[in-house]
Amino acid sequence: MNIYSWNVNGLRSALKKGFTDWFAATKPDILCLQEVRAEVDQIPEEVANPDGYFAYWNPCRRKKGYSGVGIYTQIEPDRVNYGFDIEEFDEEGRVLQLVFPDWVLNSIYFPNGGQGDDRLDYKLRFYDAFLENSKRWISDGKHVVTLGDYNTCHKEIDIARPKENEDVSGFLPIERAWMDKYVENGFIDSFRLLHPEERDRYSWWSNRFGARKRNVGWRIDYAFVDEGLVPNIINAEIHPDVMGSDHCPISIELEPPFAPLPIAAPAPAYEQ
């Protein structure tokens, strides 16, 4: 099962830069999109509902043309969740969650914390809400697979200019510490698992100063899985040659079936 993820930085813009041809040639089993930046009625019908796929969209409710996520899937889910049931996060259209019998897939556009202290606080609280949501699914016996733009480089190996960006959101110590906490809670960066020492592999480049041509980039797009899925990982890749956005696609290949997870025992009833 091949799952791709791509922050398209505006789907309508990406359509003018070869998105449709790439999608037709790649034929992913599942494709997660972030930063769609469009209402569903602004997307051509053949793109909004392509043949052979179930398509789900979650645009931003707070501001048109901002944020937004989507998923194309050849595998029909049992249920679709459009957020975490937390209004301040859900209104920005950052989460699509597909619930399958034994696993959950998230396409998430995590917030950028670079617009002041309030926005950094929002990003960190979003991270914590996401982690708690993931842990609840694990407790319910479902594996969790999360692809998207996490908007943080975890390690120095993940960024071309670590020293120059120590005080820049996306590489702040507090953001990287949350990534540490995420890993400590049993979630695995699939690309780094398979490519532990590989350098100069990035998924986002600034549009300034020819950064992409010089490969001065950041790895901020990830495919994380719970540790129970490690035996099922066949491959995890970054695809920098695919143009059309300031991000490139990433992918993970998983081999079903997934081993069942234990369901957490309910908490004992309180007795007075």
- Please list the active-site residues: 149
Q: What confidence score (pLDDT) does residue 100 get?
A: 98
**Mean pLDDT value across residues 164-184:** 98
User: How much is the average pLDDT of 106-112?
Assistant: 98
Class of domain 2-254: alpha beta
**Phi/psi of residue 110, each to 5°?**
-70, 150
Provide mean pLDDT across the span 257-264.
93
In the prediction, which pLDDT does 65 show? Answer: 92
Residue-by-residue DSSP string for 170-234: TS-HHHHHHHHHHHHTTEEEHHHHH-TT--S--SEE-SSTTTTTTT-EE--EEEEEEGGGGGGEE
pLDDT, tens only, 183-193: 999 999 999 99
Q: Quote the mean pLDDT of the chain.
A: 96
pLDDT in tens, 67-84: 999 999 999 999 999 999
The answer to whether residue 255 scores a pLDDT higher than 90 is: yes
**How do beta strands 30-34 and 69-73 pair?**
antiparallel
pLDDT digit string (tens) for 216-244?
Answer: 999 999 999 999 999 999 999 999 999 99
Mean pLDDT value across residues 239-255: 98
Q: Which pLDDT value is given to residue 272?
A: 47
The span from the CA of 188 to the CA of 255, in Å, is: 16
**pLDDT tier at 265 (50, 70, 90 boundaries)?**
confident
Checking if the pLDDT of 267 tops 60, the result is: no
Is the pLDDT score of 165 beyond 70? yes
Tokens matching residue 126: 């979003």
**pTM for the model:** 0.96
Short-list 113, 107, 102, CA closest to 140: 102
Rounded Cα gap, residues 121 and 50, in angstroms: 38
Asked if residue 257 has a cis previous peptide bond (ω within 30° of 0), the answer is: yes
Burial 2-34 (b: 16+ CB within 10 A, else e): bbbbbbbbbbbebbeeebeebbeeeebebbbbb
Structural domain boundaries in the chain? 2-254
